[in-house]
A and B are shown apart, each in its own frame.
Chain A
Amino acid sequence: MNGIVDTIKNVLKETDLVLGWTTDPVTGVATPARFHDEKEAEQAVFDSTCAHNLAVHLPRLKDSRVGIVAKGCDARSVIELIIEHEVQREQLAVIGVGCGSLLDVKKIWRRYGYGVAIKDRDDSLLIGGEQVNRDEFIQRKCHGCLEADPDIYDVIAGEVTGEIPTDTVRPHPLHDMFVSLTPAERRSFWREQFSRCIRCYACREVCPMCFCRDVCIMQTQIPRWAGGAVDAKQSEMIQLIRVNHLAGRCTGCGECERACPVGIPLMLLLDEQNHAIEEMFAYGAGASLKARPPLLVFDVNKDIWGKG
């Protein structure tokens, strides 16, 4: 994309490093990279395989002036991290990029094999030389994308699109099936899903809002919320911990589900919670720098849900 290299070079004049992407020579898709000088910045790219939410690295870079390339969805995480005082606005240079829509590279790899040639040009997507229906391989979050262009930025690389790129919000692929289940069936559903969990914590580690990091209570001895076993029960506890701690924080970036090696539909849980929070508090995480997280405040007059 035009401008990304030059923009990063410019931003590097005022920052210690810039978080962006470069192309992995083996697979031809984007991989996260850090640029410290102009020479490194030559390698920067932005394309439809730049799925990673780079905001996850910000809390570990508290002592640096950091430039970060952010899509609209990533910018929401940046905003939420600022609200949570995990990073200071002043230490950041946000390089906004207008995003068309992202490919679900993992889905492509799982179907066609790791490293298969992907050519994404305009409206045509070639996988291994074969023309496929691009719509089928777009990340779900890009359907009905909330912010094609970032809400928070210091500079813009390339052009912002100014429009939402694709049609309407699509529910999780398992959503329709899930909502048709009775509570007891849902219990079996989750038991089955969580039985695949290997407790690698990739869901947590790629989540920009899981900033407790090394001291997360999923693993601590004191307190000991989850037992040591790798089984459905403990994995359920782990996800209950995540979901509850992300209430009002989750921006719906979908990184947890993207990272999950065994394909557990984590966003089914988070989508529902985000939806409930929006309904109850008219709040969407990462929408505004001025917002207060809804579970850290209350409103005596409005908080009447009629129970009790």
Chain B
Amino acid sequence: MKFIASDRIDGLLERLGERGPVWAPREPEGAAGTVLFAPWRPGDAVELDRFTTLSAKKLVLPASEKLLSFSYSLTPEGEALDITGADQGRGDTVLFGARVCDARAFTVLDALLALPPGESYQDPGYRSRRRNLLVITLACTAGDAACFCSSWKEGTASTQGSDLMLYPAGEGYLARSVSPRGEELLALDIWEDSDLEPPELAVTDRVPFEALEAKLVGSLFSDLDFWRELTAKCVSCGYCTYTCPTCYCFDMYDEMSSSRDGERCRSWDACMFYLYTLETSGHNPRPTIAHRYRNRIGHKFSYYPANQGPVLCTGCGRCIRGCPVGLDIRDVLRAAGER
């Protein structure tokens, strides 16, 4: 197998940088130990041992994005309106150091957002960013107490969504391509040959959720007390949705930059917010935290799999690690399974 020594990772990133911006896990200064996927520039330290707080989804679904720009003008015939679409052309972006759960999240989102043209759902922005994303994934030899990717059949061995896999071995990483674009990367002259053995991969927590698809639209849905009890400590922030690699919901809004010009944009939105579903009449179909959390779990483990196929979760554990009130989605799934 191909191999790269740890101390040559910077060289690899530099070569990758020739293809486009490189994003890698880094610890920003003055951020109290947070690790984030951030643009890498020569000289920046890469943090490959600790997990990132935020997922890499902003590379395909930016936290906010311009959809259109518009401008009004006065003409002899009256008021004119000009609408220009956002430019969808872009070059490659390289994501380095994603984990298996991050990479697999892209394929989960693809099931809805990257359908071929002609299907009823279309997200051109997502599709073009996704098409131009190169994913270099670092396989996990150890998980932490929040990881539960082994709930899925392939677990830590999954290569879905990746172009190139890296496996920790010796004083560096073994590399294996899992896509034609990954093959191109292996052709770079930066790799050495090695006869090191790939490492044993981590086995993480297993949470059964297969039975939930039917229950979440049936008996569990009408059991609001169940949701009240489990979400009693939830404070309804957007932490879990925004750190989730598969939550994709968004808000659309217009911003004026002058009295005549502006942009239509979209930003991440979170189903845990009261305002998310509040109607102008004052009616809110999901008025309490229990209603909203029920929808969140329902969407992930029932509605999305029913409509699109995959479960809208990859077991990355981000929603667990930093939840301000220590709410663990696995407790909810297990309780739901037993109910």
Contacts and interface: CB of A to CB of B under 8 A. Distances in A.
Interface of A: 24, 26-27, 29-34, 52, 56-57, 106-107, 109-111, 113-116, 173-174, 177, 189, 192-193, 196, 198-202, 204-206, 213-214, 219-220, 227-231, 255, 257-265
B328 interface: yes
A106 B274 contact: no
B34 A263 contact: yes
Interface stretch (B98-106, B159-167, B230-238, B295-303): B230-238
Contacts of A192: 28, 30
Q: Indicate the member of A26, A192, A193 with the most B CB atoms within 10 Å.
A: A26
B146 A115 contact: yes
Contacts of B146: 114-115
Interface in B212-251: 232-233, 235-239, 241-243, 251
A115 B320 CA distance: 10
A246 to B, nearest CB: 17
A239 to B, nearest CB: 15
Nearest to A189: B30
Interface stretch (B174-182, B190-198, B263-271): B263-271
A33 B233 contact: yes
Contacts of B183: none
Interface-central residue, A114, A230, A265, by most chain B CB under 10 Å: A114
Interface residues of B, number: 46
Contacts of A228: 64, 251, 253, 255, 265, 267
A114 B144 contact: yes
Interface string B317-330: 10011101110101
Contact of B317 (A29, A107, A114, A214): A114
- B contact face: mostly helix, strand, loop, or mixed: loop
Residue of B144, B145, B325, B326 contacting most chain A CB atoms (<10 Å) = B326
A111 B253 CA distance: 39
A110 B50 contact: yes
Contacts of B274: 213-214
A220 B30 CA distance: 31
A192 B235 CA distance: 27
A67 to B, nearest CB: 14
A260 B265 CA distance: 25
B53 interface: yes
Contact of A262 (B31, B235, B238, B326): B31
A31 B233 contact: yes
Contacts of A202: 235, 237-239, 324
A220 B274 CA distance: 11
A34 B265 contact: no
A229 B267 contact: yes
Nearest to A200: B238
Contact of A206 (B34, B237, B270, B320): B237
Contact of A200 (B233, B270, B325): B270
Nearest to A174: B30
A231 B32 contact: no
Given A52-B325, A114-B321, A262-B53, A27 B145 contact: yes
A231 B64 contact: yes
Given A114-B320, A198-B242, A229-B267, A219 B30 contact: no
A3 B302 CA distance: 44
B78 interface: no
B328 A109 contact: no
Contact of A199 (B36, B54, B238, B324): B238
A33 B328 CA distance: 13
Contacts of B33: 107, 110-111, 263
A300 B251 CA distance: 48
Interface string B145-162: 110000000000000000
Given A30-B326, A214-B275, 9 more contacts: A113-B144, A114-B51, A177-B30, A206-B235, A228-B251, A230-B267, A261-B322, A262-B54, A264-B31
B9 interface: no
A230 B326 contact: no
